[in-house]
Structure 1
Amino acid sequence: FSKQKEWPNQISVTYQEEKLENEIEDNGIEVGKISIRFSDATTADVKGITQFILPSDEKEMILIHNTHRTPQSLVTKRLAPYTKECLQSSAQLMSSEKHYGGGRAQMAQDFLDQLKEGVYLLKTEEHVLYDSLEHEKKRVYQTEVQYDKKTGTPKRKLSSIKEYGITVADAAITDVDYEDKVDQKLVKIIDAVTKSSISKQELMTAQQQTLTAKAKGEQALVEIEYQQKQDQTKQVVEAETKVKVAEQDKLQQKIAYEGSILEAKKIKELADAQAYARSRIMQADGALEMKLKAQVEVQKVWAEAFSKYTGAVVPQIQTGGGTTQNGALNFMDIMTAKTAKDFALDLKNKN
């Protein structure tokens, strides 16, 4: 009769505790924390869990059973070492500083890829880098993956679990505990980065303030220039307006002047016409009107003089039948005759 051995469908390899616990609990075995070494020769303890799926094929399970006999043996002799190898290979691809600075996801991805497909074949390259903390150049040996030149895919070791039909369901790195010197170095880096960040921020703030001041100054200059242009434009417009007003006034004065000349000509022509008419009238009536006016004035003069005469106008005594007249009457006759003679007065109409 053959013996029967019960195997689980899945086996979880956990590495959370300080030491190995070679007992299956919830289809999982604790193998203890795994120590890794980064490319800069610093170390760390890793915690995590990897889930493996055992094959459903009978022949493959018989092969596993014949090789390991028990699940504990399978874990301790094959699954745990394979997990550790894949984890250490992933750690060699970066420094502890790089891992801390954002390489955790990349390390987890490399770890899972190697678990499923096989461990990478690695090579070491020498690089000279500048250490910003110690301010000196250092030789750094960088571990890199070897790639197939034809296919461009990573070169790998033959997977030690694929030949048994074992596959990987999932893998997770839950914690990485760096050694003390890494923590001290990271503290210095963080402090330096913080100071650098503060300095950069202060510089950016100063630059921003400078740019702001410059922008405000330029804006003020633009506003001043704009206001000056506005004032200049206003002055130009006012000057042009004054010129146009002056030109308009000049035009109006010219029109008024020309109008006054025309009016003067009109008045002169009217006066000339009236004078001509009067001269013609005077020629026609012998300057009768003027002569009459002159006669009136003369008569007024001697009439006034005569009014002051105190003698008798009519003789008080007449002798004989002579025609002897009074002196006053003779004066009146003489003045009348003289005036008529002076003006050549002819009271008759010359029609």
Structure 2
Amino acid sequence: MTTLGVLILVLVVLVLVLDPILEKWKSIDIIKDSKKWMLMVLVGFALILIFNPFTRTAAGYRTFVETINGNEKIFFNPGYHFAGFFSKTTDYPDVITTVFSAEDQDQVTSNPPFTIRFNDATKATAQATIRWSLPNDTDKMIQIHKAYRGPERLAKNSLVPYSRECLKFAAQLMESETHYSGGRSKLKEDFRDQLQNGQYVLEYKTEYVRDSMSNEKEKITTSFIRIGEDGLASRIKSDIQQYSINVDFAAIDEVDYEEQVDRKLAQKIEQSTLESVSKQSLITAQQEALTEKARGEQMLAKVKAEQEADKLQAVIQAEKAKEVAQQEALQAKYIADKIAEEGRAQAEANKALVSAGLTPEQRMTMDIEIADKVSSNMAKIKFPEIMIFGGGSGNSPTNPFDAVGLDAYRKIVESMRGSK
């Protein structure tokens, strides 16, 4: 708009200068005298454009206005606002982003990565991104403008160094091993907490511990947060808290450890891998041992069951054989008793014949008949396949002849012969 006002003003001046010259020498009247008031209107309009009393606030920004008489005000809403003639304006973004990165960033401010040092004295290069939200309070914004005179100076002189210091302070609260072993979230938490609420006041404690291996004293220095009388962490306040600048977002994009930490990390990963493999092998071996044990117990139970079944079957068969043998023995005894009775009857008959007086030929014939009779009857006897005998002092027979009654039969025959 200023450029347009300058062009209009130059055009009006040319017209005013050339009009009398051309009218005198060429009789050309550019503009009639009765209408020259229009040129005065254009001059006034050009001056308004050049010394524009209006200002435009873009979306996502707020405008600080310093009037010609020294008054200060802030426009937060987007659009055109009357600022007054000869006023000075400065635009501030609602959100300022500070970036620490090795890559070029299209932001309000971009800075290279910086070095942080952990509690164990190891170093790393850190990259981070922080988004700051400026206050929506007129007094706070006026104080910010008086202190920094613009967003670039605010970022350069306050936001960037404060962010860098907060991350360094947060790194001092842990060792590098703690960080790469799962402490990233803790580092981010401490970082953001200090950005918003102020840096921790750290205290250090030095102890000397005797090494159990070398028997030498080792110096160990630990850092911790100082606790105030109210039980809260002691903090160092900064302009961030003074001007109510809020942290909308804070991220630690990358932490690149130094070489010795990378070597230590690689060794730990290798050791962890070996331990994992060893544990897995142990678990597999234990599982295989349990499987083999269960399989052996199963086989043992199977064999035991088979043996019990065989034993039971043998007992059943033995009992069955015993019963069969007893039946056969009873049958044989019955037959033998029958033969004995027949023999006794025959003996009585023979005795009667002998008493009647037999010739030698008749006696011989009778003996032959008795022997044939005995032989044929004994041939009919079915001896049991299994015979069970008792002890020598009981009522049970102790020999096969007693078991089937043959001994009694044998004695009858001998008495028959003796009686002859």
TM-score, length basis structure 1: 0.61
Name the residue aligned to 1:245: 320
Name the residue aligned to 2:251: 172
Is 1:11 equivalent to 2:90 in the alignment?
Answer: no
- Is the 1:40–1:140 Cα contact (8 Å) retained in structure 2? no
What is the CA–CA distance in structure 2 between the aligned matches of 1:254 and 1:74, rounded to whole Å? 126
Is 1:64 equivalent to 2:115 in the alignment?
Answer: no
Q: What's the CA shift for 1:137?
A: 8.1
Q: What's the CA shift for 1:165?
A: 1.8
Q: Secondary structure at the match of 2:200?
A: coil
Unaligned runs of 5+ in 2: 1-67, 71-87, 350-420
- Is the 2:169–2:199 Cα contact (8 Å) retained in structure 1? yes
Q: Which residues in structure 2 correspond to 1:106-185 (within 5 Å)?
A: 106-126=186-206, 138-148=218-228, 151=231, 153-178=232-257, 182-185=258-261
Letter in 1 for 2:97: S
Q: Secondary structure at the match of 2:234?
A: coil
* Aligned residue among 23, 39, 43 for 2:119: 39
Question: What's the % identity of the aligned pairs?
Answer: 28
Q: Which residues in structure 2 correspond to 1:304-319 (within 5 Å)?
A: none
Q: What's the CA shift for 1:258?
A: 7.9
What is the CA–CA distance in structure 2 between the aligned matches of 1:5 and 1:62, rounded to whole Å? 11
* Aligned residue among 245, 264, 267 for 1:191: 267
- Is the 1:50–1:171 Cα contact (8 Å) retained in structure 2? yes
* Aligned residue among 274, 278, 286 for 1:211: 286
What is the CA–CA distance in structure 1 between the aligned matches of 2:208 and 2:179, rounded to whole Å? 20
- Is the 2:176–2:261 Cα contact (8 Å) retained in structure 1? no
Number of matched residues? 256
What is the CA–CA distance in structure 2 between the aligned matches of 1:242 and 1:102, rounded to whole Å? 75
Which structure: larger Rg? 1
Name the residue aligned to 1:222: 297
Letter in 1 for 2:91: E
Letter in 1 for 2:204: T
TM-aligned CA distance change 1:197 to 1:175, over 3 Å: closer
Letter in 1 for 2:125: D
What is the CA–CA distance in structure 2 between the aligned matches of 1:130 and 1:105, rounded to whole Å? 33
Q: What's the CA shift for 1:163?
A: 1.6
TM-aligned CA distance change 1:108 to 1:127, over 3 Å: farther
Letter in 1 for 2:219: R
What is the CA–CA distance in structure 1 between the aligned matches of 2:291 and 2:268, rounded to whole Å? 35
What is the CA–CA distance in structure 1 between the aligned matches of 2:229 and 2:287, rounded to whole Å? 55
What is the CA–CA distance in structure 2 between the aligned matches of 1:138 and 1:8, rounded to whole Å? 53
- Is the 1:52–1:167 Cα contact (8 Å) retained in structure 2? yes
Name the residue aligned to 1:91: 171
Letter in 2 for 1:4: T
Q: Secondary structure at the match of 1:6?
A: strand
TM-score, length basis structure 2: 0.52
What is the CA–CA distance in structure 2 between the aligned matches of 1:4 and 1:198, rounded to whole Å? 63
TM-aligned CA distance change 1:129 to 1:201, over 3 Å: farther
TM-aligned CA distance change 1:99 to 1:53, over 3 Å: same
What is the CA–CA distance in structure 1 between the aligned matches of 2:284 and 2:312, rounded to whole Å? 41
TM-aligned CA distance change 1:11 to 1:94, over 3 Å: same
What is the CA–CA distance in structure 2 between the aligned matches of 1:171 and 1:46, rounded to whole Å? 13
TM-aligned CA distance change 1:67 to 1:183, over 3 Å: same
Higher RCO (C-alpha under 8 Å, 6+ residues apart): 1
Letter in 1 for 2:262: L
